[in-house]
Structure 1
Amino acid sequence: MAAAGPLRLPLLAVRPPWPRCPRRGAARLPAGQIRAAFLRFFEEKHGHRCLPSAPVRPRGDPTLLFVNSGMNQFKPVFLGTAHPRSELAQQRRVVNSQKCVRAGGKHNDLEDVGRDTYHHTFFEMLGNWSFGDYFKEEACSMAWELLTEVYKIPKDRLYVTYFGGDSSLGLNADEECRDVWLSLGVPANHVLPFPMKDNFWEMGDTGPCGPCTEIHYDHVGGGRNASALVNQGSPDVVEIWNLVFMQYSREADGNLLPLPQHHVDTGMGLERLVTVLQNKRSNYDTDLFTPILDAIHKGCGGPRYQGLVGNADVGHVDMAYRVVADHVRTLCVCITDGIYPGLSGAELVLRRILRRAVRFCSEVLHAPRGLLASLVPAVVEVLGDAYPELKKNADQVMDIINKNEVAFLSSLERGRRIIERTVQQMKPSADFPAEVAWSLYGNLGFPLDLIDLMLEEKGIRLDSAAFNELVLEDAK
């Protein structure tokens, strides 16, 4: 079937001549043009239909609190449940940039945000899809062309992985994928096999699944062989793109059966890609975050953001910068998409995010009231061209943030006094009483991770076992 013609949608406010990234050492493209280059490459050169991002509130999927990947809105196609006459079922090649939130549920990055320089609750997932159209050869070829010819990433800094097989399941190595990469000129020592946990993707316990190939980037370069660092958690060699080849169906009995139609599902985090192309080592040093960090500094008047982590980050000041910058992006996107801070489900998670941000503003950055809401225009500056709904709803977002901040600040002060009084009465080396933590959690609305963090700053641990018992008792 012929590929669907490109659809002109207002994903970007301005469509300048197709940007090509300059070679390393030259001025870097801004994030907006990097996003635009991805979308236009697949839309205009390879016949994909450019679809808008789905809202981060899932539609018709009770298994998710938030949309957490680009493929969520295409699940009906993969599962074969899309109505044959629906517009979605007619698509063969699709590209988009999807707003994603990972906080709560199976995919939860909330408590890691701020502690390092790469975790986020909100991020954008660039993706291209084939629904029964092209497969491994064309998917890999297009990815390689985009990275090396459009984005001008040096080929010697890229490593690719493929599924190395699983004898227990009777699955052979994905030699087809390996051979495609070799035919594209990737050196053999940059084409690496990995087991099921790294290179086999499954939607769930049952359903479509298949091998995947990942593209990794070496930040150091210099002609070295960094193959030993791939998939080893090294900050120097990071995954930037995952291409999933759905060719099996996992049955209820655990068996894998071939799918009658093959699909391709790819995902590349915009934040990580921008970090690579702007020659940074931290996502927070890119222009996706620097306008927000500058606005935080202007609003609180303290020291500037330095990018420090761990023990070097005295007083957790830089951690606070990262938490607030990340969380205000999430608040803007979620509230705009109809998720408001509340008492259950996604709304409760968003309340935790807001209260975590308010606490860092107040007690670490010593910012005046209203700082968090005042950052909304900076978020709109960064994301508003790609997602115009953020501009339209900015005033409403600021109003909701301000009202929730006022409500929490009084509770925060009461909770801080309770913690101080309890610590003074504790014996040396004792754990913080679970009953007090439960009262903070239930009566004052303190998220557990916020309680843990406030105690951690005092060098005190919560009696987690006793706290979990209280949670279980309450659930009865």
Structure 2
Amino acid sequence: MNTDQLVRTFIEYYEDRGHHRITGSTLLPPPGDPVLFTTSGMHPLTPHLEGRPHPLGRRLVNVQRCLRTTDLDEVGDRTHLTVFEMLGTWSLGDYEGPQSLDWGYGLLTEGFGVDPGLLHVTVFGGDDQVGPDTDSLELWERHGVPVELTVEDNWWSNGPTGPCGPDSEIFLWTGDTPPQSTPTRDDRWVEVWNHVMMRHRRLDDGTLVPLPQRNVDTGLGLERLSALLQGRPSVFDCDTFDPWRRLVPTLWQLDEPSLRLVCDHLRSAVVVIGDGVRPSNTGRGYVLRRLLRRVLTVLRRDDQQHGLGELPGELVRHTLDHFRQDVHPESVHRVLLDEERRFDRLLVRGRQVLSRPRFRGPLSEDDLHYLHDTHGLPRDLVLDLVPDLVPDPRMR
């Protein structure tokens, strides 16, 4: 299946089981939300998970675009992206965890054709406040799926306070050998799907109280699922990245880690711009600026003439269409080129500052903070401009 077919299969499977599809929101949370970007499918649904009735009922399904800056330094491995799509299902005080897990197992094995022998799951093993999730354990034992019990790895929360609960994660074996070991001991087990039994609220003092209703919240990354089911080695090799893999290497000669970073960050920047964000020195705009400056730092490393004006319009159009954004590609190009001009001015200023006598020896962490706070020079850019001046670990 290509990615579009995966989405249709997923949505139709849950619609057949009484779920109503809701329209995924933009990357921007509602006004007043302290979070910069939507990080998961459940984020826009928080009021309904806390008890407010949803106009479409108690069973919901959707596709939500998300952005996570916490994974920024992991981008380039085989599973992490900055902007991605999340497939999600919810029970708002309706069915419970075992039913959700049973349907999830059925979709993976029958709808998507996954060999049951390649599955492993983890289940909450209990702590001093909440007992083990025996309902999930028994469900998986009935299906014959091996289970690993954990504590911290299978307790989901959206922060130090607020809704939380035990979860059960489904993993798929990606190794060349028959499955072995367990998900926490072998990274060839790749997480596919997380089912959260959201039953509690954690208070400021750490105690747990019951939520007004017992919910189920599930989520699985679309690009990761596509790569796994298509037998591709990484999310950057699934079909949604085909145009990027085809065109970007013809523009810039990059090693594989740099190619992945450039494709991810440019694709993410297009989506962020498409949702109305513009580069700035704070908040959402700074996230966008950081993405673009990381790209430009990589591109200029080997050839100072490389720039975003070379980015094919086809890639911008493909990304906007894929994420269902009604934005003209030319307006996105203008933002990219304007930010590139700012970056070029920053490079000139940065070289002038770094030529000063105080920066002729190994840089300390204080130096890097000073360069960032006073002159607006990001750490990555400084170390790229003067790679010999790496921070001295003794100088803090």
Question: Normalising by structure 2, what TM-score?
Answer: 0.90
The residue type equivalent to 1:339 in the other structure is: V
Partner of 2:110: 149
Letter in 2 for 1:205: P
Q: How has the CA–CA distance of structure 1 residues 165 and 332 changed in structure 2, closer, same or farther, with 3 Å as cutoff?
A: same
Q: Distance in 2 between matches of 1:284 and 1:126?
A: 18
C-alpha deviation, 1:89, in angstroms: 5.0
Contact in 2 for aligned 1:241/1:267 (Cα 8 Å): yes
CA distance in 2, matches of 1:42, 1:452: 49
Is contact 1:56-1:99 (8 Å) kept?
Answer: yes
Paired residue type of 1:133: D
- Alignment of 1:64 with 2:35, yes or no, is yes
Partners in 1 of 2:5 and 2:116 — Cα distance?
Answer: 21
Contact map agreement 1:299 1:371 (CA 8 A) in 2: no
Q: Secondary structure at the match of 2:88?
A: strand
Say whether the 8 Å CA contact 2:274–2:320 is kept in structure 1. no
Q: C-alpha offsets along residues 142-171 of structure 1, whole Å, 9 cap, x if unaligned?
A: 1011111111111100011111111x22x2
1:408 to 313, 323, 343: 343
Q: 1:73 aligns with which of 29, 41, 44?
A: 44
Q: Which amino acid aligns with 1:180?
A: L
What are the within-5 Å matches in structure 2 for residues 76-91 of structure 1? 76-80=47-51, 82=52, 84=53, 88=54, 90-91=56-57
Alpha-carbon shift at residue 434 of structure 1 (Å) = 5.4
1:55 and 2:26 correspond: yes
Partner of 1:33: 5
| Partner SS for 2:105 | helix
Contact 1:432 1:463 survives alignment (8 Å): no
Q: Closer, same or farther in 2 for the Cα pair 1:95/1:366, shift >3 Å? A: farther
Cα 1:296–1:367, aligned 2, differ >3 Å: closer, same or farther?
Answer: farther
Cα distance in 2 for residues equivalent to 1:389 and 1:40 = 23
What residue is the counterpart of 1:186 in the other structure? 144
Q: How many angstroms apart in 1 are the aligned matches of 2:174 and 2:250?
A: 32
**Which residue among 312, 316, 331 is the counterpart of 1:396?**
331
Contact kept, 8 Å, 2:21 with 2:61, in 1: the verdict is yes
Residue number among 199, 219, 231 corresponding to 2:184 in the alignment: 231
Equivalent of residue 318 in structure 2, options 381, 392, 395: 381
Rounded Cα–Cα distance in structure 2 between residues aligned with 1:194 and 1:127: 23
Partner of 2:155: 200
Residue 133 of structure 2 corresponds to: 174
1:375 and 1:446 map into 2 onto residues whose CA distance is: 29
Q: Contact 1:292/1:379 (CA < 8 Å) preserved in 2?
A: no
Matched length: 396
Q: Distance in 2 between matches of 1:33 and 1:215?
A: 21
SS at match of 2:256: helix
Contact 1:423 1:432 in 2 (8 A): no
Structure 1 spans left out of the alignment, 5+ residues: 1-28, 306-316, 467-476
Match of 1:460 in 2: 390
Q: CA deviation at 1:393?
A: 3.1
Q: Once the two structures are superposed, what CA deviation does each residue of 1:340-380 show, in whole Å capped at 9, x if it has no partner?
A: 111211111211111111221222466633346x2453253
Structure 2 gap ranges (5+): none
CA distance 1:436–1:173, change in 2 (3 Å): closer
CA deviation map 1:105-141 (0-9, x unaligned): xxx2223323x33332111111111111111222011
Q: 2:174 aligns with which of 208, 219, 238?
A: 219
Residue 241 of structure 1: how far off its partner (Å): 0.6
* Counterpart-to-counterpart distance in 2, 1:417 and 1:296: 32
Contact 2:271 2:319 in 1 (8 A): no
Of 244, 249, 272, 2:224 maps to 272
Map of 1:361 onto structure 2? 299
TM-score normalised by the chain length of structure 1: 0.76
Preserved contact between residue 271 and residue 320 of structure 2 (Cα < 8 Å):
no
Tell me which residue corresponds to 1:425.
360
Displacement of 1:412 in angstroms is: 1.9
2:281 equivalent among 343, 366, 369: 343
Q: Does 1:163 align with 2:119?
A: no
Q: What is the DSSP-based 3-state SS (H/G/I as helix, E as strand, rest coil) of the residue aligned with 1:288?
A: helix
Q: 1:112 corresponds to which letter in structure 2? A: E
Q: After the TM superposition, list the runs of 4 or more consecutive aligned residues in structure 1 that deviate by more than 6 angstroms.
A: 420-424
Aligned-partner residue type, residue 283 of structure 2: G
Work out whether residues 165 and 200 of structure 2, in 8 Å CA contact, stay in contact via their aligned partners in 1.
yes
- Quickly say closer, same or farther: Cα 1:351–1:435, change in 2 above 3 A: same
SS in 2 for 1:460: coil
SS in 1 for 2:240: coil
| Distance change in 2, residues 1:420/1:272 (3 Å) | farther
Q: Distance in 1 between matches of 2:289 and 2:190?
A: 32
Instruction: Quickly say closer, same or farther: Cα 1:60–1:79, change in 2 above 3 A.
Output: farther
Q: Distance in 1 between matches of 2:353 and 2:8?
A: 51
Task: Go from structure 1 to structure 2 and tell me whether the alpha carbon gap of 1:438 and 1:211 turns closer, same or farther (over 3 Å shift).
Answer: closer
* Contact 2:38-2:66 within 8 A present in 1 as well: yes
Q: Of residues 207, 210, 225 in structure 2, which corresponds to 1:255?
A: 207
Q: CA deviation at 1:40?
A: 2.2
Q: CA deviation at 1:402?
A: 0.9
What amino acid is aligned across from residue 446 of structure 1 in structure 2? L
Distance 1:199 1:435, change over 3 A: closer
SS at match of 1:127: strand
Paired with 1:64 and 1:371, the residues of 2 have a C-alpha distance of 32
Q: Does structure 1 retain, via aligned residues, the 8 Å contact 2:86–2:219?
A: yes
The CA distance in 2 between the partners of 1:294 and 1:433, in whole Å, is 41
Distance in 1, matches of 2:392 and 2:379, equals 10
SS of 2:81 mapped into structure 1: coil
Q: Which residue pairs with 1:447 in the alignment?
A: 378
Check whether the contact 1:296–1:371 (CA below 8 A) recurs between aligned residues: no
d(CA) in 2 for partners of 1:36, 1:416: 52
